[in-house]
Amino acid sequence: MKMFCICFLKHVLYLFKVDRHVDLLEVAQETDGFSGSDLKEMCRDAALLCVREYVNSASEESHDEDEIRPVQQQDLQRAIEKMKKSKDAAFQNVLTHVCLD
């Protein structure tokens, strides 16, 4: 199952510039239980961290040669943590609406 997850991550991350040191096996292990939709959203969030950083730095100083940096392991880790918190909150919300007789 982890190989499927790694292939899926490669497919989704293909759209983004990714640092060559990113360990997709580690990401696959950290995201065990995530749906395909969760993985796609997590990758998008990681890429957006780089875009936000670029926009913030570009507004401070204008450099024509600056590029958006590649997605790094720590970006994926932050996005994983965000997704886990979101999934936990959704689960807690479901639990509060369950009626126990």
- What are the extents of the domains in the chain? 2-96
Look at residue 88 in the predicted model and tell me its pLDDT: 72
pLDDT of residue 3: 87
Rounded Cα–Cα distance for residues 9 and 42 (Å): 10
Contacts 24+ apart (CB under 8 A), 28-35: 28/2, 29/2, 30/77, 30/80, 31/5, 31/80, 31/83, 32/2, 32/5, 34/83, 34/87
Fold of 2-96: Helicase, Ruva Protein; domain 3 (1.10.8)
pLDDT of 87 reads: 73
pLDDT by residue for the chain (101 residues), tens only, comes to: 688 889 999 999 998 999 999 999 999 999 998 999 999 999 999 999 999 999 888 766 655 556 899 999 999 999 999 999 987 766 565 556 555 54
0.85 cut: is pTM over it?
no
Q: Of 85, 87, 91, 51, which is closest to residue 71 (Cα–Cα)?
A: 51
* pLDDT the model gives residue 75: 98
At 99 the pLDDT is 55
